[in-house]
Amino acid sequence: MDPKAYRDMAEVEARHWWFAGRRVNLTAILATLSLPNHARILEIGAGTGGNLDMLAGFGKVTALEIDAQARGLAGEKTGGRYRILAGSCPDDLPFAGETFDLVCLLDSLEHIEADAATLRAVHDLLAPSGKVILTVPAHPWLWSAHDVFLHHKRRYRRNGLRTLCSATGFTVQRLSYFNFFLFPLAVAARMKDQLFKSPVATGAALPAAPVNALFRTIFAAERFLLPHMNLPAGVSLLAVLEAA
């Protein structure tokens, strides 16, 4: 990812409605997984560490991040509370002999060219009955300056993601869209960026405080639905996987 994107992420991810709302929604999903006490949790592609405190509410957290700048920012932000290791998927994983009860790829798989090989490598990291939480951007037709700036390799179709996960050794326990309520606004923003060939993604910056609070409230309201049902549309996809 662009180094500027890491700096921007570190500055805004504590407050920006998308990051904050996603953490709220993921917390609701994690609470449904019946993880073991003292679960061993790995986040792959931890970026600047914005999810680590949230994940620590469910177990002992390890992070993997390829970018040295992002690792440094994550360590500073979290006060050195977590093991944050250098490595990349699928071939540079520093976990010989280790397994995890939960592996999280939270908007990281779309950055990796070899997504199938990565999922196979993740499969090998799971403890018995271990699970994976995976989030990715949905709908290739939404491709815009936002994806280019973040160095995405792809956006995913729902059926394509299901096929990919099944082919790499997983049972798909849940597969839902999310960011459902704000989907029409996101489509409008992406279409505007495509139409005007905008070099800067609409909505990437931190909005004015009232707008940011409103969007966070709307997005985070999905926490009341996601534990109980799959949403029919949205900007992103969320999958819960278990080794087949």
CATH code at position 122: 3.40.50.150
Residue 64 phi/psi, 5-degree rounding, is -120, 130
Give the tens place of pLDDT for each residue, 3-62.
Answer: 666 777 777 888 999 999 999 999 999 999 999 999 999 999 999 999 999 999 999 999
First to last CA, the chain: 32
What whole-number percentage of the chain has pLDDT above 90?
A: 83
Residue with more model confidence, 150 or 1: 150
Closest alpha carbon to 27 in 173, 133, 184, 157: 133
Residue with more model confidence, 96 or 5: 96
What whole-number percentage of the chain has pLDDT above 70?
A: 94
Give the tens place of pLDDT for each residue, 192-211.
Answer: 877 766 666 666 678 999 99
Q: Are 119 and 165 in contact (CB under 8 A)?
A: yes
**SS3 call for 159:** helix
Q: Are 17 and 204 in contact (CB under 8 A)?
A: no
Specify the number of domains making up the chain. Answer: 1
What residues contact residue 59 under an 8 Å CB cut-off, 6+ apart? 35, 36, 38, 39, 40, 41, 101, 102
pLDDT on residue 12: 84
For 206, counting Cβ atoms within 10 Å of its Cβ (0-12 exposed, 13-18 middle, 19+ buried), the class is: middle
Residue with more model confidence, 144 or 162: 162
Q: Are strands 236-243 and 170-178 parallel, antiparallel or unpaired?
A: antiparallel
How large is the C-alpha radius of gyration of the chain?
17
Number of DSSP helices (H) and strands (E) in the chain, helices first:
9, 7
What CA–CA distance (Å, rounded) separates 91 from 112?
Answer: 12
Q: Are 21 and 213 in contact (CB under 8 A)?
A: no
Give the tens place of pLDDT for each residue, 100-110.
Answer: 999 999 999 99
Closest alpha carbon to 69 in 45, 92, 44, 47: 47
pLDDT on residue 1: 57
Whole-model pTM: value is: 0.93
| Average confidence score pLDDT of the chain | 93
Domain that holds residue 236: 3-243
Q: Please, which residues bridge with residue 134 across strands?
A: 105, 239
Q: What is the mean pLDDT of residues 214-229?
A: 98
